[in-house]
């Protein structure tokens, strides 16, 4: 059965292009809406599987639509928004329950809207099969176990996520204590222009320092590096220090940044000192890197199917026999603390 989509955008041209792209991919565009209020009426009437949602609209904006979505027959949401001034709104939408985020070309160079075709179709397809993300809890960070005489078993935590990742990563990082004793590096599949806004939001909400990665930046205890969209994040050893490297290679990677690139570099730099975590996401990014971590003597944890928005990336690592344990998201921070 075709995926039923409602297109919501205040731009007539954007509505036309999105409709053409989705219809051409075999999806059924059941309707369009020009603003947030009309969108809510059409959602109640048409009950679409997925909505594509612009963030800046008259009468009621995208965040208002998300807040007002019904509990029954709640559609999955794909945000189609411009980076720049809209970046923080896009990230807020992901935290409010949107499943995917597609970057609309800046300044609406109208012919360029067709350039998002593959990304938009993939996002809507992923959203149609995704579970609705659970709201990020306002949990107090966990406490570290009592001090121990044995040295730390791990020297770095690396994390990968995709569809459903913003909320999952927020829940995980917020649960880690301010005294977390090793550095963290993470890859999240987001469009270019959104990782800075995600980093800033997560930094404000968690006890750890969260920053968008830059070349040469030191990885240290209590600091979380977020891979910059559009370029791979790799870990390099500099004497006794670990530093971030931003590298365009490999260009053939399906994702940039890729979880594989981060995991493989961490395995090379830290060997058995790596603890890798693969969270919710579509596809298999992270499996090759997980093999590298496993071969180097490190450990992998995967998010359980029960808590994943999309059980794709963790499933691939699990089925490859590389996961030491499959863990529900709410128990992941405790499991990490036990293993470091």
What is the rounded CA–CA span in Å between residue 53 and residue 64?
Answer: 11
Helices (H), 2-149: 12-24, 36-46, 62-68, 87-95, 117-129
Q: Which listed residue (81, 87, 162, 258) is catalytic?
A: 162
Q: Which listed residue (95, 189, 255, 294) is catalytic?
A: 189
Beta-strand runs (E) in the chain: 4-8, 28-33, 50-53, 76-82, 100-104, 156-161, 184-188, 209-212, 218-219, 223-226, 232-238, 241-247, 274-278, 299-303, 325-327
What is the rounded CA–CA span in Å between residue 143 and residue 165?
Answer: 24
Tokens of 284: 């298999």
At which residue do the structure tokens 């075999």 appear? 26
As a residue count, the chain comes to 340
Q: Which listed residue (9, 285, 307, 326) is catalytic?
A: 285
Taken in order 283, 17, 82, 132, the sign of the CA dihedral is: negative
What is the rounded CA–CA span in Å between residue 266 and residue 145?
Answer: 25
Packed helices 195-205 and 165-175: angle between N→C axes, nearest 10 degrees: 30
Active site residue 285: yes
Q: Residue 315: how many CA atoms within 13 Å on its side-chain side?
A: 11
Q: Which residues are catalytically annotated?
A: 162, 189, 285
């Amino acid at each position: 059965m075709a995926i039923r989509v409602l297109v919501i955008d205040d731009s007539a041209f954007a509505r036309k292009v999105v409709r053409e792209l989705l219809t051409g991919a075999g999806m059924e565009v059941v309707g369009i809406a020009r603003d947030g209020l009309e969108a809510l009426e059409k959602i109640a009437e048409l009950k679409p599987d997925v909505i594509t949602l612009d963030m800046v609209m008259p009468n009621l904006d995208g965040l208002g639509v998300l807040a007002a979505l019904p509990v029954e027959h709640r559609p999955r949401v794909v945000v189609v928004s411009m980076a720049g001034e809209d970046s923080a709104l896009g990230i807020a939408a992901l935290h409010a329950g949107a499943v995917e985020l597609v970057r609309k070309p800046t300044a609406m160079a109208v012919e360029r809207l067709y350039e998002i075709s593959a990304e938009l179709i993939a996002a809507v397809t992923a959203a149609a099969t995704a579970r609705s993300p659970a709201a990020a809890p306002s949990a107090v960070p966990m406490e570290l176990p009592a001090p121990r005489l044995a040295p730390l078993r791990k020297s770095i935590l690396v994390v990968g996520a995709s569809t459903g990742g913003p909320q999952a990563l927020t829940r995980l990082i917020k649960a880690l204590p301010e005294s977390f004793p090793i550095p963290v590096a993470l890859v999240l599949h987001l469009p270019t222009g959104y990782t800075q806004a995600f980093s800033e939001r997560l930094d404000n909400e968690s006890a750890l320092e969260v920053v968008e990665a830059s070349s040469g930046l030191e990885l240290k205890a209590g600091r979380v590096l977020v891979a910059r969209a559009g370029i791979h994040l790799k870990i390099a050893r500099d004497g006794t220090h670990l530093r971030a490297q931003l590298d365009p290679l490999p260009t053939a990677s399906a994702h940039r940044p890729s979880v594989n690139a981060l995991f493989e570099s961490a395995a090379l730099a830290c060997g058995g000192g790596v603890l890798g975590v693969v969270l919710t996401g579509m596809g298999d990014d992270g499996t090759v890197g997980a093999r590298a971590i496993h071969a180097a003597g490190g450990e992998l944890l995967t998010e359980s199917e029960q808590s994943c928005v999309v059980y794709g990336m963790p499933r691939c690592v699990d089925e490859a026999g590389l996961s030491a344990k499959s863990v529900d998201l709410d128990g992941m921070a405790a499991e990490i603390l036990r293993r470091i």
